[in-house]
Chain A
Amino acid sequence: MRAVNFGIDLGTTNSLIAKYDNNKVQVYKNPIGQKETLASVVAYRSERILVGDKAREYLAKDAMNVFGGFKRKMGTDEKYYVVNLDENVTPAELSTLILRELKKFVPPTENVEAAVITIPASFDSMQSNATLKAGLDAGFKEVFLLLEPIAASLAFFNASSTVEKPNGYWLVYDLGGGTFDVALIKSTDEGLKIADHEGNNFLGGVDFDFAIIDKIIIPEIIRQTGIENFEEEFRVKYGKYEMLYYQVMYYAEEAKKELSQAPATVIEFGAILNNTNYDFHITITRENIDKIFTPIVNETIKLLHKVVANNGLTVSDINQIILVGGSTFLPQVREQLTVQTGIPLNYSVDPTTSIAAGAAFYAGNKYFEPDAPAVTSIEEKIVDDLLATVDFSPADVQVDVNYTNSSRDKEEVLLITSNGELDNKYYRISRSDGGFDTGFITLKSKKTEFLPLIPGINNLFVLSVYDGDSNEITSLKKEIAIQQGMYNIDGQPLPHDICFEVDDVENKTTKLEVIFARNSLLPQKRTLYREISKTVKKGSQDTIVINILEGDKNSRPSSNLTIGCIQIEGKDLQSDLIKGSDIEIQIQLTDSRVLRTVVFLVMTQQEFKNVFSVSEKQVNIERLKEQFIQLENELIATVRQFQFNANTVWEIQAIALLEELQSVKFNLLKLKEKDKSDEKYVIAERVTRISQEYDKLGGNERIAALIEEYLYAKDTLLQVINMADFEKEELMKMYHKIEQAETAFIHSKNVSAIDNKLRQLSDLHWKALSNNIGFLITRFIEYKGYNTDGFKDYTAAKPIIKMADSALEKEAYPEFRRHVFSISSLVKTSRANNYTDFKGTGIG
């Protein structure tokens, strides 16, 4: 025996599927569009069958082929004639399609063999049996039925075990999109029972939207336009105001939602009526809609009182009203229920999913005999997995697809060719993001489909083939990937990354940001938005430098080739350029590798256009000097590190590079920006070459050592974060951020990139330590031991030390931490800073 576990709310307007697992219920989402609800509508389009929200769009327009609300007709002899099929379908057959679609919400690794399906309290035996048949036809081996109010009650009774639920009477008030039901539930020690129920099949959420249109929007349009027969014309099917009708429907629903949270809202729309352009601004207050909603709510309350009175009860006999259905979110519904009945309301369980959740709770305790022989739980799982993946259908069909895997167009054509036994077979294509789904289409020997593409990404589609019972023939599944934004002929790919240099002000250095990644096909165009990182006075010598480089995005800027350099000097400015103001940089690289840039300074409203030929070298002397110093310092630090590790071979190589670099230092420092000689190009080339050789120094062995160092530092950091007494969550977030980028920079095998990450780990390590009380106390004791020379301002530090002492004594650690931070800022630091006059690029 196996637990059923799956519960289905087969609703008049919407349907849902949920699963019980280990005392919890999971409501599944539609893989197409990620919604929990599926519209209970089926559309027989010319060649395809659509089920759900998409089908609902055609409900009003193609009534001969699109069907909704068929639940009300279950078990009757009513049949719907489908023009496109030239045959009749029954409500049970339509329900079967809904149930099959719901099964697709469940991941393929889970096998949905049996289910509990809910039915309204008003359903007779014929209607119940029709639902049962629909379930069996949908492929369930066993189906159990459960009354909707009982399902809602089960969800409520099982949800909050801490709240007392005395025996007695409860009301389930179910106000959905288009229907209303109220059920009187009696709870006893033996269980739950429906004592009575009432309902209205044509009363629901949509009536509130119509009330806003009828009572507020239409009168306002008439008042402003004076069109006499507007109301009459507005409602005419295919009439002249039809476009406005749909707009207004949307705005009315939005206003209803907004007024659930705000005291007032404004509906704004424009329309051309009788050749005159009108702009409507209609303010709607909560007070307005209270008045117009009350009659609708009163209808439901009348039925509620009726069901209570018919059973010889009064409202005081009812424990609580359990709210079910999306429309019970409306404040007017809740207010009127409270005012007019005085019964406490309960909405602890999500009203939109409670019936499905209750069905799943019930399913957790219902058992069925699966077809497969009884096996142990682990083997059972394996069998389930196999059932989901093994294809039992005869391999008498072959399907092939042809398409181009890269495109610059908005859509691409897919050719599907099929052979073999194609009768009663369907295919369906969906895009992985949920924005495209063909529905079921009859399989033919040759078919074409146009696949819409999202720009700039790899669009993934899945083509699935189904038999007549909607069972997927998994061996025929095809995955289709089309990269949009690339030419379908061989374009010129970029051999290296194209980056631009931005300031890393914190570390007083610069870093690279990728503009176009390696292997992108030309042409490419992109606009970057950044901030100015230093103030440049009008007329001053200060400069903003936009350096565009070609090379490896993970390396230091000096290892790359500068292909474009734009300098904007103080004298070029119409007014001062303040730090923090915006700069827009539009960069375009043509097929023939011509670089065009348009720089726009938002503050001064100035635009600078440049065109560079990549064959020309671009050098900014100030920037070159800073790059030189940065590289020199790194080399000095590395030589020391090699010395410390007694790595003589690498040490000798590093010293040789350092000496070669320093041999041009004198010439570089005396260079002026206006220098016309080739000297700057000679030096720039040497700096680039040494920087690249420095990256290669030690080869894979050095990279392996750095990766090992990185992994060790990461482990240590994690331990330190776990011991942090403050901001642990924040620290963990920063840790994960570094970790997330790990694969990329480790695979880059770039010394500079790994080194950079090591520095980030080290910074975070210190940050984590400064959030540890033990460490802070040690630091504080150390500071207390300093004499006056140890501080920048001892007079300022003295009272803070006293306050820190007092906080420590009181164990007021957050306060103590603040004081230690203040003291540390007053301590003289021995850390040498070689970049006190760091100028950078001026772009942050």
Chain B
Amino acid sequence: MTVQSLTIINQLFEMQHKINELGHGAGFERNFNRLFSVFETDGFILQNPTGESYTDARTDCEASIVGTSSPKMKIIKTLKPVIYKKENGTVQLVQKAVVLVEKN
């Protein structure tokens, strides 16, 4: 069930990303919020870390470093989002984000 849910979440994330790139994001925002809320009800917590700072302590991301590495880096592109699952009162990381990072 979790694997199927992750596949669907990733596909939705990708679709949202493509629609945003085409400049039609606003028209679909409500629909995407609705779809993601279904998974939130099932205990999934979804995070798009694009724009956030990146450190080597972030085990929620699998990063590829573009350019030279530096103590101050930020996430410039997210290919897969971070997904946590809340179950029986505890939260567990179920999918690491796949991201590209570069010097801030």
Contacts and interface: CB of A to CB of B under 8 A. Distances in A.
Contact of A246 (B37, B66, B71, B91): B66
Contacts of B30: 584, 600
Interface in B4-55: 18, 21, 30, 33-34, 37-38, 45, 47, 52
A433 B34 contact: no
A529 B34 contact: yes
Contacts of B98: 250
Contacts of B84: 433, 435, 454
B87 to A, nearest CB: 11
Contacts of B69: 58, 61-62
Contacts of A433: 84, 90-93
B81 to A, nearest CB: 12
A454 B92 contact: no
A34 interface: yes
Given A434-B92, A529-B37, A249 B45 contact: no
A435 B65 contact: no
Contact of B64 (A48, A57, A437, A527): A57
A457 interface: yes
Closest 6 CB pairs of A and B: A435-B60, A246-B64, A434-B93, A61-B69, A433-B91, A435-B93
Given A435-B84, A527-B33, A238 B96 contact: no
B82 interface: yes
B93 A452 contact: no
Contacts of A243: 66, 76-77, 100, 102
Contacts of A439: 56-57
B7 to A, nearest CB: 11
A250 B79 contact: yes
Given A60-B65, A268-B18, 11 more contacts: A32-B59, A34-B92, A54-B56, A61-B69, A238-B68, A432-B90, A433-B91, A435-B58, A435-B60, A529-B37, A584-B34
Interface in A425-473: 429-430, 432-439, 452, 454-457
Contacts of A527: 33, 37
Nearest to B70: A61
B75 interface: no
B86 A33 contact: no
Given A54-B56, A61-B68, A584-B30, A454 B91 contact: yes
Interface in A59-79: 60-62
Contacts of A438: 57
B56 A57 contact: yes
Contacts of A454: 45, 47, 84, 91
**Among A62, A242, A433, A600: residue with most chain B CB under 10 A:** A433
A48 B71 CA distance: 12
Interface residues of A, number: 45
A625 to B, nearest CB: 32
A436 B79 contact: no
Interface residues of B, number: 39
A46 interface: yes
B42 to A, nearest CB: 13
Interface of A: 32-34, 43, 45-46, 48, 50, 53-54, 57-58, 60-62, 238, 242-243, 246-247, 249-250, 268, 270, 410, 429-430, 432-439, 452, 454-457, 527, 529, 582, 584, 600
20 contacts: A45-B56, A46-B71, A54-B56, A54-B57, A57-B64, A58-B56, A238-B67, A243-B102, A247-B100, A432-B90, A432-B91, A433-B90, A435-B58, A435-B60, A454-B47, A454-B91, A457-B91, A527-B33, A529-B38, A582-B34
Contacts of A60: 65
B91 to A, nearest CB: 4
A721 to B, nearest CB: 23
A120 B76 CA distance: 40
Contacts of A61: 65, 68-69
A777 to B, nearest CB: 37
A433 B94 CA distance: 9
B95 to A, nearest CB: 10
A584 B31 CA distance: 11
Contact of A247 (B21, B77, B96): B77
Contacts of B94: 34
Contact of B56 (A48, A270, A430, A529): A48
A238 B69 CA distance: 11
Contacts of B58: 54, 435-436, 452
B21 to A, nearest CB: 7
A701 to B, nearest CB: 32
A247 B57 contact: no
A584 B47 CA distance: 22
A270 B21 contact: yes
B4 to A, nearest CB: 14
B59 A437 contact: yes
B8 to A, nearest CB: 15
A437 B93 CA distance: 12
Contacts of A430: 59
Contacts of B33: 527
Contacts of B92: 34, 433-434
Contacts of B21: 270
Contacts of A582: 34
**Among A410, A438, A452: residue with most chain B CB under 10 A:** A452
A502 to B, nearest CB: 14
A668 B62 CA distance: 64
A250 B10 CA distance: 14
A339 B55 CA distance: 48
Contacts of B96: 33
Contacts of B38: 529
A32 B93 CA distance: 9
A54 B100 contact: no
A87 to B, nearest CB: 21
A226 B94 CA distance: 41
A246 B102 CA distance: 12
A120 B63 CA distance: 30
A33 B71 contact: no
A240 to B, nearest CB: 11
B57 A436 contact: yes
Nearest to A456: B45
Given A48-B56, A62-B69, A433-B84, A53 B91 contact: no
Nearest to B38: A529
A141 B21 CA distance: 58
Given A433-B84, A457-B91, A58 B57 contact: no
B96 to A, nearest CB: 7
A33 B56 contact: no
Contacts of A48: 56
A439 B30 CA distance: 40
Given A243-B77, A250-B98, A454-B45, A54 B59 contact: yes
A96 B21 CA distance: 47
B90 A242 contact: no
Contacts of B82: 435
Contacts of A455: 45
Contact of A33 (B18, B57, B59, B102): B59
Contacts of A54: 56-59
Contact of B66 (A58, A242, A435): A242
Contact of A50 (B56, B63, B67): B56
A285 to B, nearest CB: 21
Contacts of B47: 454
Contacts of A250: 64, 79, 98
A767 to B, nearest CB: 24
A268 B100 CA distance: 17
Contacts of B52: 410
**Among B59, B64, B94: residue with most chain A CB under 10 A:** B59
**Among B68, B79, B102: residue with most chain A CB under 10 A:** B79
Contacts of B65: 57-58, 60-61
Given A58-B69, A242-B66, A435-B59, A247 B34 contact: no
Nearest to B67: A238
Contacts of A435: 58-60, 82, 84, 93
